[in-house]
Amino acid sequence: MNIDRHPCFNDKARHTFGRVHMPVAPRCNIQCKFCNRKFDCVNESRPGVTTGVLTPEQAMIYLDAVFAEKPNIAVVGIAGPGDPFANPEETMRTLRWVRAAYPEMLLCVATNGLGVGPYIDELANLQVSHVTVTVNAVDPAISEKIYAWVRHDKRVLKPADGARVLLEKQLDAIRRLKEKGVTVKVNSIVIPGINDHHVPEVAKRMGEMGVDILNAVAYYPNEGAAFSDIPEPSKGMIAKIRKAAAEHIPQMHHCTRCRADAVGMLGEKMNEKLMTALKRCESTEAPPVAAEHPATTDRPNVAVASMEGVLVNQHLGEACQLFIYGKENGGVSLLETRETPEPGGGNGRWETLADAIGDCGALLVSGIGPKPRTVLEEKGIQVMEIEGLIDDAIRSLYDGDGLRHMAKRTLTACGAQCSGGGMGCG
């Protein structure tokens, strides 16, 4: 994995490598006065715009189409159309699946920084190598002019309180990301009359924190936004700001204000074939992802939910035991069976199970509820909802062929299409 291939962070790389943004994060936790995400135009390149919104399952199917059309893609990123961490389940599931299916890919996210904190450890574990944080001011008195509201801890904060909380979370996130060795870019939207005079101060603070690069992004007037009557900053203004900011931190000069569904090389026109593929994926009921087994030295095994030990045919909530497969004597075989925790206990049951199969990088089931899936995946165990012979699945996993051919055609919710009584996921 060569982190220098990221075209947004490396000016030379943009002439060779492309990126794809996965639009899996529609919700946002702040309202910027310059933002209006209602409109989509194929000729418009700006954050918040997308042709469609995908589920993580749909995104993985779309990604196959992207790689077939654009073999020079080096980076898979999530940049909206809202904020990735206002949609943490969708964001983290997509990142986990991409890392498992395409281990050579660079992963990145672009966020306002408000909600990323609880996920920084896992981002580092997933080798998310690049994170962009949008910091428009390091003075809350200026920030409160930019944001209409901030939603934090299920409360909507007014501009003054919201600006203070947002800056606190941003600075803490940047500090922790740098401690993890993540490459951090800060975007500052230059809004004439609001923060144009302040961006060099942002650059100074970010330089002191060890941020790798700052991108002074020209504000773009959006119809219907509160700031729609503010003119776009001139090239001269941006050049002057970048020159002042460069005294404190390296500057990005090749930003193209990418869409949330951007694909290809920076500045490349939207690909009609891939836009059609994205729309098709959006309207398709996608099967759950079944990628290759992410075998590691500390998680070399695979757990299987099965009624009789022949087929992957049991819902996790109904399984009294799991079959554990792994490498032994030069081959792959059944190592043992392990009992599962008794029903009840909420998430504690699944925390216990995750510990019990902590040596397993993957779990194969015929069905699973959202709670256990979330807990297990957060613990680094890839859940694959499939159907078929255990021997076929295990052989395909360890041969690196993946399990897309065995993926169930529909997602199984707890209590729906379930062989048991639907009582086992509590």
**Residue 293 is assigned to a structural domain of this protein:** no
- Same domain as 318, residue 220: no
**Residue 230 is assigned to a structural domain of this protein:** yes
What distance in Å separates the CA atoms of residue 197 and residue 208, rounded to the nearest whole number? 19
Would you say residue 73 has pLDDT above 70?
yes
Residue 398 binned pLDDT confidence (cut-offs 50, 70, 90): confident
**Residue 290 is assigned to a structural domain of this protein:** no
Domain enclosing residue 14, as ranges = 3-282
- Same domain as 251, residue 214: yes
What distance in Å separates the CA atoms of residue 298 and residue 39, rounded to the nearest whole number? 47
What distance in Å separates the CA atoms of residue 141 and residue 147, rounded to the nearest whole number? 11
Residue with more model confidence, 303 or 5: 303
**Residue 418 is assigned to a structural domain of this protein:** no
pLDDT, residue 400, reads 73
For 372, the token pair is 């256990």
What distance in Å separates the CA atoms of residue 189 and residue 156, rounded to the nearest whole number? 23
- Same domain as 244, residue 309: no
**Residue 366 is assigned to a structural domain of this protein:** yes
**Residue 425 is assigned to a structural domain of this protein:** no
Does pTM surpass 0.85? Answer: no
pLDDT, residue 47, reads 62
Would you say residue 423 has pLDDT above 80?
no
Average pLDDT for the chain: 84
- Same domain as 126, residue 62: yes
The side-by-side arrangement of strands in the sheet containing 18-21 is 213-218, 183-190, 128-134, 106-111, 73-78, 18-21, 263-264
Residue with more model confidence, 35 or 209: 209
Would you say residue 343 has pLDDT above 60?
yes
Calculate ∠ Cα 218-26-42, nearest 5°. Answer: 55
How many residues in the chain?
A: 426
- Residue 81: cis peptide before it, omega within 30 degrees of 0: yes
Would you say residue 320 has pLDDT above 90?
yes
- Same domain as 313, residue 264: no
Residue 412 binned pLDDT confidence (cut-offs 50, 70, 90): very low
pLDDT, residue 424, reads 44
Domain boundary among 225, 248, 282: 282
**Residue 294 is assigned to a structural domain of this protein:** no
- Same domain as 257, residue 317: no
- Same domain as 253, residue 367: no
Residue 134 binned pLDDT confidence (cut-offs 50, 70, 90): very high
Residue 291 binned pLDDT confidence (cut-offs 50, 70, 90): low
For residue 27, what are the contacts with CB-CB under 8 A and spacing of at least 6?
Answer: 82, 83, 86, 87
How far the first Cα of the chain sits from its last, in Å, is: 40
- Same domain as 139, residue 22: yes
Provide the CATH number for the domain around residue 8. 3.20.20.70
Domain count of the chain? 2
Which whole number is the average pLDDT over 271-294? Answer: 74
- Same domain as 101, residue 237: yes
Model confidence pLDDT, tens digit, residues 243-257? 999 999 999 877 656
Residue 133 binned pLDDT confidence (cut-offs 50, 70, 90): very high
Long-range contacts of 62-65 (CB under 8 A, 24+ apart): 62/22, 62/277, 62/278, 62/281, 63/20, 63/22, 63/98, 63/101, 63/102, 65/274, 65/277, 65/281
Which whole number is the average pLDDT over 67-93? Answer: 89
Would you say residue 270 has pLDDT above 70?
yes
Per-residue b/e over 34-56, b at no fewer than 16 CB within 10 Å? bbbbeeeeeeebbbbbbbbbbbb
pLDDT, residue 258, reads 74
Place of tokens 């049951």: 349
Q: Which residues pair with 284 in a beta bridge?
A: none
Given phi > 0 = left and psi -120 to 50 = alpha, else beta, which region is 380?
Answer: left
For 318, the token pair is 């109904």
Backbone torsions φ then ψ of 108, nearest 5 degrees: -150, 160
Would you say residue 44 has pLDDT above 60?
no
- Same domain as 256, residue 116: yes
Work out the percent of the chain whose per-residue pLDDT is above 70. 85
- Same domain as 218, residue 72: yes
Residue 299 binned pLDDT confidence (cut-offs 50, 70, 90): confident
**Residue 296 is assigned to a structural domain of this protein:** no
Q: CB 231: neighbour CB atoms within 10 A?
A: 9
- Same domain as 393, residue 255: no
Domain boundary among 249, 282, 315: 282
Report the range out of 11-15, 73-77, 159-163, 218-222 with the highest average pLDDT.
159-163
3 state SS of 165: helix
What distance in Å separates the CA atoms of residue 101 and residue 215, rounded to the nearest whole number? 31
3 state SS of 231: coil
Would you say residue 417 has pLDDT above 60?
no
Would you say residue 266 has pLDDT above 60?
yes
Model confidence pLDDT, tens digit, residues 344-388? 878 899 999 999 999 998 999 999 988 898 899 888 888 888 888
Query: Where are the extended beta strands (E) located within 237-308?
Result: 263-264, 301-304
Provide the CATH number for the domain around residue 306. 3.30.420.130
